Amino acid sequence: MQKVTLTINGVRREVLANPDMVLIDLLRKNLHLKGTKQSCDRKGQCGACTVIVNGKAVLSCITKVVKLEGAEVISVEGLGTPLNPHLIQEAFVLSGAIQCGYCTPGMIMAAKGILDKDPDPSEATIKKALAHNLCRCTGYKKIIEAVQLAGKFIRKETTPEEVRSALGPAMVGVSHVRPTSMIKACGVAEFGADIELPSNTLEVAVVRSTEYHANIKSVDTSVAEKMPGVAGVVRASDIKGTNRIRQVHPDQPVLCEDRVRILGDPIVIVAADTKEQADAAAAAVRVEYEALPAVFEPEEALAPGAPVIHAHAPDNVCCKQPIIKGDARKALAEATAVVEAEFSTQTNHQAPLEPEVSVAYFEGEGEAEELVVVGRSINIHFHLNQLKEALGYPKMRYREPFSGGQFGIKTWITSEAIAAAAAIHFKRPIRYVPSMEESILICNKRHAYKIKTKLAADAEGHMTAMFCDWLMNKGAYTLNGPVLLGRSIMMLQGSYHIPNLEVMGRSVYTNNAYTGSARGAGPPQTTFATECAVDMLAERMNIDPLEFRRMNSLKPGQTKSTGMAVKEWSFVEVCDAIKPAYEKAKKAAQEFNAKGGHLKRGVGIAAHSFGVGGAGDSAKLSIELDPDDGITIYAAVADPGEGNDAMLVQIAAHRLGLPLDKVRLYTRDTDKTVLMGPAAGSRMTFMAGNTLLNAIESLEAAAKEAGGRTYEALTKAGKPTRFEGFHKNQAPAGLDPKTGQGNAQVSECHNIQMAEVEVDTKTGATRVLKMTVAVDGGTIINPHAFEGQLEGGMDQGVGYALREEYQLGKQKDYVSFKFPTVRDGFEVEIIPLQTPRYNGPLGATGVGEMTMVSTAPAVINAIYNACGARVFNLPATPAKVKAALPKSQDATAAN
């Protein structure tokens, strides 16, 4: 041990440090300064742990304390507080640069590192300073803008007060600050690993399968149970409930009994006084396996004699759904032009920055005692019921802390059942903090699709028929597979009128990564195939791609692929909105390419009409009029970064004429809230917004009878002060299992995206220069939140298009996953339209996933436009692009 004297946030400290102690542990464990975050397993890859040491931004996860003698350290807590924030923190809040907030403290400290040296940095300088700081939510654009605004504050060109006053008094259509942005900026928002627990808390580790498919012959925990600090182990036999997590089919075990179906399946929980002790004991557990044949691709799993993954599906088909609409075969035979191709998309990880942390502890005494489970759920009531069933423990409550992004992962339980099972077994508080490597392994992923498509048009260029056959790689467990297959079916036609369809979608079990929701949840894969085929058909017909899409737009009264008629459809207006930018971009690319050389530029477009608010979907919440005549909204509305908190507050303030600070939120806890449904499918603005307005209508009706909308008036008149809100989409749910006809989503967000790319024909490397999106999401509640969702979706979409791919057991960190950094950023232009939706809250609908759906095909179409390389299999790596180059281009590049 070595004594080190240093100053931390202005306070002189003397600490005893061993040679391996790193600064993040001193801050978080010793001093309980939790604003500094850990994400990348201390590999120096993510920047979430950034602090200032002697005036320089450093990564605290790899900075040894013994080397800090005499150093001056500033963490985010030492920069400012919510009541007295630093100008940089103000700038991040006012720029809309904060979504989930997990990366924010590190970003802000990195920004301080550069602004202290240069208060007027160039964009290139900012990107260099933030190159080691990752963000999955924002797409980096608003972070760069925040650093630029902070520079203006520091140079005294403007002030935070001037920026705030410019917002004006309106409640809707204004970028009011999100209610939680400042506490995230100051590092005091509590995420799962930040929760302080009592001294008798146990830390847990999980023994996971090292085989892809095997019978468990024996499990020996005898050595592990005798190791220092170990409290004991939990096996499947110790779980009193079903030991199965069930959403559609109860096939995923909390702990495996006698068989594993995937690398990383959980077998034993080990609990100890410290995480290090738990990890060491878990490594000492010996599992003997009998290896079984494994299959990793749907075609293998469907082949005769393939190993059966689950007894309930002897053919390994998880689910299937056709569409039969009109007579596609006849229309294909009679068509003037038909294009046919096979496409594939990769398995993809959603890649949130926060590890899959869960906490469980008992609260209350006697009959009032209940188990509190703390996790990152976006559907807390549903997950609570899943946990009760799986663990056989009915007295349970679920609480969601702040959540570091999720992008679909948390439609499913990842780690909560482990923590809860251990708490029930040991009757002690439990903290489960898996590493990022383990978190990546245990999360559900985006499905890989293999898609065969035919698309036909008549002599005038109107699309007449589609044939489509696809296989989804379901992986080892069902999760919400049938739901995602249905979403792909419901939105298959995208923005277009295609009167004749013959489609078969099948989801197939394999021993690969189990798959579920990921941003877009179904449509990104099928839209990639459809939008590439649309471009190919437009070329075959010699019609401009934008005009071809416009002329094939669905119109009010026409039907989607499921036969559901639409009442409003503004896609033509979206096409018209992007046309000037499209013509300008085409001209610029042509002029660049006319100069010759191996660098080629291209322009590609892709479109989609994303369905929001499923048929038969419902939601509930309640509001309460408070004694000061403000209101409290009780709603199980998760907000892992989308801006749902701001949406609720601004709608309520607008409708009731209240200042923002008189609208309070009680969310993310099953106590005092009711079933809202998931923060998924871009449904929260539509569903929660409509439900909130329903509750407000009840309040207003009571106030009218009481002669005033005050707490005093209602109580004097004997009226209630708490009102329930309910909303249900009236279209009956469900598709015909034989034809796929039925009701789909009841609202849509329309967009068309344009990618401008540069392709190096020598290497095949593609660089996205700019993304432009024209989008109609109805009334915009908060422009910063609106823009942030579109920008973040495009950033993820470009990664999906060009580099990201998850291979089970191989991608263990951000480098191997090829996580996009600020240096991969591109220019963004957003062209918003606001056609009020007849059934949306204040005319709004959801936009959170829209740009994720259309980005990849836009990029792929732009690559083709640039150099003639048509890539059919995502991601479009340099090798794939170079292999797809026409021989003439390849020969030119070689010269």
Q: What is the DSSP letter of 447?
A: P
Amino acid 463 reads M
* Spatial separation of the C-alpha atoms in residues 676 and 697, rounded to whole Å: 18
Amino acid 473 reads N
Angstrom CA distances, 787 to 41, 137, 585, 700, 873, stand at 31, 11, 22, 33, 29
Cβ neighbors of 891 (< 8 A, separation 6 or more) are none
The token pair that represents 456 in the structure block: 């036909």
The helix (H) or strand (E) run that includes residue 151 is helix 141-154
The token pair that represents 649 in the structure block: 């507050």
Q: Which of 161, 160, 45, 140 lies closest to 98 in space, CA to CA? A: 140
366: left (phi over 0), alpha (psi -120 to 50) or beta: left
* Spatial separation of the C-alpha atoms in residues 237 and 239, rounded to whole Å: 6
* Spatial separation of the C-alpha atoms in residues 286 and 280, rounded to whole Å: 12
* Spatial separation of the C-alpha atoms in residues 424 and 429, rounded to whole Å: 9
* Spatial separation of the C-alpha atoms in residues 669 and 621, rounded to whole Å: 12
640 with 787: CB under 8 angstroms?
no
* Spatial separation of the C-alpha atoms in residues 141 and 883, rounded to whole Å: 33
Show the CA angle centred on residue 432, arms to residues 225 and 359, nearest 5°: 125
Asked, as a colleague might, if the bond just before 85 is cis with ω within 30 of 0, I would say: no
- CA quadruple 516, 520, 526, 532: dihedral, nearest 10: -140
Amino acid 187 reads G
* Spatial separation of the C-alpha atoms in residues 764 and 863, rounded to whole Å: 10
Q: Active-site residue among 77, 758, 791, 849?
A: 849
* Spatial separation of the C-alpha atoms in residues 577 and 825, rounded to whole Å: 24
Query: Tokens 């110790």 — which residue?
Result: 238
What would the DSSP string read from start to end of 395-440?
SEEEE--B----TTGGGS-SSHHHHHHHHHHHSS-EEE---HHHHH
* Spatial separation of the C-alpha atoms in residues 852 and 868, rounded to whole Å: 24
Q: Which parts of 760-818 fold into alpha helices (H)?
A: 783-802, 814-817
Residue 14 a catalytic site member: no
Angstrom CA distances, 708 to 24, 408, 757, stand at 55, 43, 60
Cβ neighbors of 675 (< 8 A, separation 6 or more) are 381, 382, 619, 620, 636
Cβ neighbors of 29 (< 8 A, separation 6 or more) are none
Q: Which of 622, 618, 607, 674 lies closest to 652 in space, CA to CA? A: 622
72-74 vs 2-8, strand pairing mode: parallel
* Spatial separation of the C-alpha atoms in residues 573 and 778, rounded to whole Å: 13
Q: Which of 635, 702, 627 lies closest to 674 in space, CA to CA? A: 635
* Spatial separation of the C-alpha atoms in residues 569 and 696, rounded to whole Å: 29
* Spatial separation of the C-alpha atoms in residues 715 and 721, rounded to whole Å: 7
Distance between start and end Cα atoms, the chain: 63
Report the catalytic residues: 849
